[in-house]
Chain A
Amino acid sequence: MTDARGNGMTDATELRRRTRELLAAHPPATTGRLDFLRARFDAGLAWVHYPEGLGGLGAPRSLQAVVDAELEAAGAPGNDPRRIGIGLGMAAPTILGFGTDEQKRRFLRPLWTGEEVWCQLFSEPGAGSDLAALGTRAVRESGGGWVVNGQKVWTSSAHLARWAILIARTDPDVPKHRGITYFICDMTDPGVEVRPLRQITGEAEFNEVFLTDVRIPDTRRLGEIGDGWRVAQTTLMNERVSIGGMRLPREGGMIGPVARTWRERPELRTHDLHQRLLTLWGEAEVARLTGERLRQQLVAGQPGPEGSGMKLAFARLNQEISGLEVELLGEEGLSYDDWTMRRPELVDFTGRDAGYRYLRSKGNSIEGGTSEVLLNIVAERILGLPAEPRTDKDVAWKDLAR
């Protein structure tokens, strides 16, 4: 413990020195945003836990905060991580883990600077929780490249993305988990058609993506042929880590707006709502502490399994709290700010009005793994309970019921 902290101090000092060097060589006041971000990447200060030459220095992940604090104090521009979350949180760790040296060099820098936005082509209309059942086909051409046909769904940022991480079926004759291959798909290919998918909130955060004879060279395959399921596990695991890594102040999440309304508008208060609000406030605070404890475990190098549970807790709380808020607002709860079909670039679960928050939070227990599937994961991987008997594991994909 002491040793780890001791080393951490040395590294922090070194990182601070390098950050100041970067700031001296590229003063934010006189350097263009993109130039600064590229220089930061090249200095290894983009994501310090990445290897040297790929935007990092092989330092502990927890020390990123040291760099970020220095840069923020100096007024340096950031890479707007909320806009490029899929690239940073999902594509990047997968490319790092499975990409060739050439792929890492080509893709990671513009991904991190935000010059190239990424999206994820995983879910399909017929493959949601059972993602491994996916039917988008990638067929090998005589030249070694691939031709892809199929339909993907729930793709955020597809209309903005330059690249996509894609999983497709390359061998229908083997059981479903074994016949999948992982690709990097060029979203400007003429065979890629993106259509907005309007959701219950009225807007379209997501898209349907139709792939018709899309050509992907073999150099944009990530990992081995038929190993796509294993590669995708890295992507999905990182998705959940990034959810667990959030740090909130007290009242920092969905409870914030409803607590403010309660304080500012005494005429709305009722006894029933008071009891429910206090219960949810306590639960939200406990969920925040649980997240904080998970973060402390990560910093101490003892990652716990709690991350799998955090998404479950936040999904339920977001739904119950926003539902309560609609009721608290009385007459106002009967209105909605705007049903116009729009394509928001950023999504804020706690944004807009109570009606929006209530409707949008319904997705929290579906997106990124349904609550039901997450409960199975907790039960099987953490508690070690046996899996349900399966009828799909040893059957060729082409023979599965659908």
Chain B
Amino acid sequence: MSPLSTESTESPVGTQPDLLYTEEEDALRAAVRDLLRDHCDPAGVIVRTESDAPHDRELWKALSHGMGLAGLLVPEARGGQGATHREAAVVLEELGRAVAPVPYLASAVVATEAVLACEADDLLAELASGRTIGALAVALHVAPGGAYKVVRYENGTLHGELTAIADAAVADVLLVPADDGGLYAVDASAATVTPQVSLDLTRPLAKVALDRAPGRRLGDAEPAVRRALRAGAGLLASEQLGLAEWALTETVRYLKERKQFNRPVGGFQALKHRLAQLWLELVSLRAAARNAADALATGSDDTDVAVAVAQAYAAPVAVHAAEEALQLHGGIGMTWEHPVHLYLKRAKADALAYGTAGGHRAALADLIDLPAP
């Protein structure tokens, strides 16, 4: 692979990444948005975060059984929809826009990618149908190339404790890397899963404890985990785009309505410039996120760079958008009642998920040959 891709100067248009949305992708977006409008209102999400079922299982059923979206990344011959990361990215944009508490990224993207790297078509089909929810038992903040904790494999069973596992509380099967280099599928009923009080209320973490837990070896952990985390990082950018879009749209709407000093607050130039700046960051993030999704979808040689560029850019933009939304809403933005805090918490947690922006920039240094001193 040539990281510098200077060949793109002469390359014909056909080899450029397709950064637009197809008509089918637009239709998919509209369908998901309709569903979320009816079943995932902000007030309901806030109430749910404090219930004993923070995940919305009904919504998950509607997305997976109803619309078949859990199987987008799985080929039809293996029980999925045979779509690509481009479509999954569109779904994630909409889920981000609604801070929907469903394990889509964890199960339909990350766990599914890990299983795709192994030979376990029965489990793959289960994940693709959405009847089984999977979670890769790697802490959420681990970057694609980063070190992750493994459990002990001894006498045919697994032993150990793993923390910060996203959506583990709702998972039916945990994909656990072990010290023998294997990736094991562990039935959630064979593990002790304890919810952790999480910064992000809509993607809660859990602790997974294994004590002589039986597991089925799916394949080698290393390639599966790397592949899963890379796809997770790349598509997270689309979720972050959705979060940022909600923040900007909602803030613009509010500032047109909100009046102080006998004027709509949105007419003050100091605020207009901040929102215009945010808009610019958002359209830039859209290009970066589409580029990462397209690279993952086409298996481009440029995928590592595309993912690192998208993640280095996405997290600061999503956090900036949520922080601006809070500040520009004034006092109401600081209340538990207003949903902006859900977006801020998700955006900040996303800034750590699958590696920080700084971590991705460090990865970029090697990929594009700009070495550290």
Contact = CB atoms under 8 A, between A and B. Distances in A.
Chains A and B bind each other: yes
Interface of A: 1, 249-252, 259, 262-263, 266, 269-271, 274-275, 277-279, 281-283, 285-287, 289-290, 292-293, 296-297, 299-300, 302, 304, 306, 309, 312-313, 372, 374-376, 378-380, 382-389
B263 interface: yes
B290 interface: yes
B370 A277 contact: yes
A379 B252 CA distance: 9
A383 B280 CA distance: 11
26 contacts: A250-B6, A263-B370, A266-B371, A269-B371, A269-B373, A278-B362, A281-B364, A281-B368, A282-B361, A286-B284, A289-B17, A290-B284, A290-B288, A293-B287, A296-B20, A309-B280, A375-B273, A376-B273, A378-B280, A380-B272, A382-B276, A382-B279, A385-B252, A385-B255, A385-B256, A388-B268
Contacts, number: 143
B16 interface: yes
Contacts of A277: 370
B31 interface: no
Interface string B235-279: 000000000000000001001100000011011110011011101
Nearest to B6: A249
Query: Secondary structure at chain A's binding surface: helix, strand, loop or mixed?
Result: helix
Given A249-B9, A382-B279, 19 more contacts: A252-B9, A263-B370, A282-B312, A286-B284, A289-B19, A290-B284, A292-B16, A292-B17, A309-B280, A309-B283, A372-B273, A375-B276, A375-B277, A378-B280, A383-B252, A383-B279, A385-B267, A388-B269, A389-B263
A282 B285 CA distance: 11
The winner among B255, B269, B283 for most chain A CB atoms within 10 A is: B283
Contacts of B19: 289, 292-293, 296
A286 B309 contact: yes
A263 B279 contact: no
B197 interface: no
Contacts of A312: 280
Contacts of B362: 278
Contact of B370 (A259, A309, A384): A259
A155 B365 CA distance: 42
Query: Secondary structure at chain B's binding surface: helix, strand, loop or mixed?
Result: helix
A275 B9 contact: no
B291 interface: yes
B8 interface: yes
Nearest to A272: B373
Interface string B318-336: 0000000000000000000
B6 A376 contact: no
Nearest to B363: A278
Contacts of B313: 282-283, 286
A278 B272 contact: no
Given A282-B312, A375-B276, A293 B4 contact: no
B173 to A, nearest CB: 36
Contact of B369 (A263, A282, A297, A306): A263
Interface string B9-48: 1000100111110010000000000000000000000000
Given A274-B365, A386-B267, A1 B23 contact: yes
Contact of A383 (B275, B308, B364, B369): B275
A378 B275 CA distance: 9
A313 B361 CA distance: 20
A376 B267 CA distance: 10
**10 closest residue pairs by CB, A with B:** A379-B272, A386-B267, A378-B276, A269-B373, A293-B19, A289-B287, A249-B9, A290-B287, A375-B276, A278-B361
A292 B370 CA distance: 24
B276 A379 contact: yes
B89 to A, nearest CB: 14
Contacts of A382: 276, 279
B281 to A, nearest CB: 9
A375 B272 contact: yes
B259 to A, nearest CB: 11
A252 B369 CA distance: 16
A386 B6 contact: no
Contacts of B252: 383-385
A312 B373 CA distance: 32
B276 A376 contact: yes
Given A249-B5, A269-B372, A292-B287, A385 B275 contact: yes
Given A274-B373, A376-B276, A279 B361 contact: yes
